[in-house]
Structure 1
Amino acid sequence: MKAVFFDLDDTLYDQLEPFQIAFDCVFPGVNDFSIVDLFTKSREYSDRVFAQTESGEMTLAQMHRYRMVHAFHDLGRKISDDEADEFQKVYKEHQYKISLIPEMKRILQYLYKKNIPLFITTNGPSAHQRSKINALEIGNWIPSEHIFISSEIGFAKPDKEYFDYVNAKTKTGSTHSYMIGDSFANDIAGAVQAEWNAIWVNTKNRAKSHPHIQPEYEVNTYQQLEDMIRQLF
């Protein structure tokens, strides 16, 4: 039986919304670069040190500061550690004031009615990720036991062990597993290497981080994703 696995951040909800609110609050009047570029840069830097935060070599606070200081620097602006810390404080306050992207809500409902098993696969700290999941109110479609968070299981995307573990726990096969996510490095490259079906939600038109890896599907809008899901299932 086919099964669908959703990434959380920037897939089920738009992570840019709380990021924009924090930016406007902490850096009012700064408009000499694109907020999307800043967000993308910050994600790139957090991905670079993700393994260190998982192992405990770097604290989350250090990672949050690191990604913002370096993201701003790449875009030609210097910020202080205090400004980076203040940004993270406001950002975190709004990260739990989120809602499902409308198309994603319809997709969940459609697949649920089709009796397709639904799961969440996400990297990050347990309490933080579960707080966001709770804010999205998706329990009607995806029960708690269908949620796989890297810090809880000891493996993280894109490692093949993560995907193999999830398949084993869910009694699903790789050839019938569909990974839907925005991160090419974590969601798509990991899924392809684990021989899952990969659907890249590339709404911000990012370049592939692994040029030699080709996902089965790529969409640039959530409406395209919804149309594709109705064709595949």
Structure 2
Amino acid sequence: MTAKYRNLFIDLDDTLWAFSENARDSFAEVYVEFDFGRYFDSFEQFYSIYTERNNALWVDYDHGRITKEELNRERFSYPLLKVGVGDPELVHAYMKAFFRIIPTKQKLMPHARDVLEYLNGKYRLYILSNGFRELQSRKLASAGIEGYFRKVILSEDLKVNKPRAEIFYFALSATQSELRESLMIGDSFDTDIAGARGVGMDQVFYNHRHRTELPFRPTYEVASLTELFDLL
């Protein structure tokens, strides 16, 4: 199978860079910095309120139903509004602090560095992410993995998010990659896998959340990045 692919397009957040863990750690620092114990019973209460709304808003953002500005305004204001705190200045301040802290975090998904070391040189590696330009490059640098990638392609470059076909065609064009020689690796079935399938690109679904009901069978499915050693 090694000879079949030349180009690997890899999602960043929660595929290589441990976004969920790093975000939680960043919010824990923000919670203390802004004394949110005044408003919430615990950090767990705050973070569960934030996460529930944040997840829904990202679905809307990925499908182009809301803007980046609306996403950020809504997800950061929501937890405080839920406990009766309507303070736009506080929301802006803690949002700014979060964005200052999170790109400094270094946690990677299990075995990510070993897998990148294995793939490097055998394939042309590219990041394909819906994340924000001002954060993604800094995340890669903080984690020490920026050197593995020939190019970082972000949805903001085209103002179109995965799973839209345009961002995949843009990525192929920007990297001079042939579709039949390309493979998408990601943890989001709805954006990475469905999007790649929509343009006829093979996919590896990194199913670390052990999702059981899938709308269709991806080209490949792995529960651990270590399975890429045998697959690729």
Range class of TM-score, shorter chain = 0.7 to 0.9
The alignment-based identity, stated in percent, is: 24
Matches within 5 A, 1:37-52: 38-39=50-51, 41-50=53-62, 51=64
Q: Does 1:105 align with 2:117?
A: no
Matches within 5 A, 1:87-126: 87-99=94-106, 100-113=108-121, 115-126=122-133
C-alpha contact (below 8 Å) 1:12/1:104 kept by paired residues: yes
With 34-43 and 14-23 compared, the bigger mean Cα shift is at 34-43
Q: Does 1:64 align with 2:72?
A: yes
Q: Does 1:149 align with 2:154?
A: yes
**CA root-mean-square deviation:** 3.1
Q: Which of residues 156, 163, 172 in structure 1 aligns to 2:168?
A: 163
Matches within 5 A, 1:203-222: 203-206=208-211, 211-220=214-223
The runs of at least 4 consecutive aligned structure 1 residues that moved more than 6 Å come to: none
Q: CA deviation at 1:70?
A: 5.1
* Structure 1 gaps, min length 5: none
Indicate the residue corresponding to 1:225 in structure 2: 225
* Structure 2 gaps, min length 5: none
1:152-202 Cα offsets, whole Å, 9 max, x none, are 234431111221222233233333322111222211110111222222223
Paired AA for residue 229 in structure 1: L
Residues 37 and 119 of structure 1: CA distance in aligned 2, closer, same or farther (over 3 Å):
farther
Q: Which of residues 146, 151, 173 in structure 2 aligns to 1:139?
A: 146
Q: CA deviation at 1:85?
A: 4.0
TM-score, length-normalised on structure 2?
0.76
Indicate the residue corresponding to 1:5 in structure 2: 9
1:204-231 Cα offsets, whole Å, 9 max, x none, are 34576xx5333223333xxx221x2111
C-alpha contact (below 8 Å) 1:42/1:71 kept by paired residues: no
Q: CA deviation at 1:109?
A: 0.4
C-alpha contact (below 8 Å) 1:7/1:180 kept by paired residues: yes
Residues 191 and 120 of structure 1: CA distance in aligned 2, closer, same or farther (over 3 Å):
same
Q: CA deviation at 1:52?
A: 5.2
C-alpha contact (below 8 Å) 1:124/1:149 kept by paired residues: yes
Q: How many residues of Structure 1 are paired with residues of Structure 2 in the alignment?
A: 217
Residues 219 and 80 of structure 1: CA distance in aligned 2, closer, same or farther (over 3 Å):
farther
Residues 116 and 43 of structure 1: CA distance in aligned 2, closer, same or farther (over 3 Å):
same
* Secondary structure of the structure 2 residue equivalent to 1:148: strand
C-alpha contact (below 8 Å) 1:123/1:150 kept by paired residues: yes
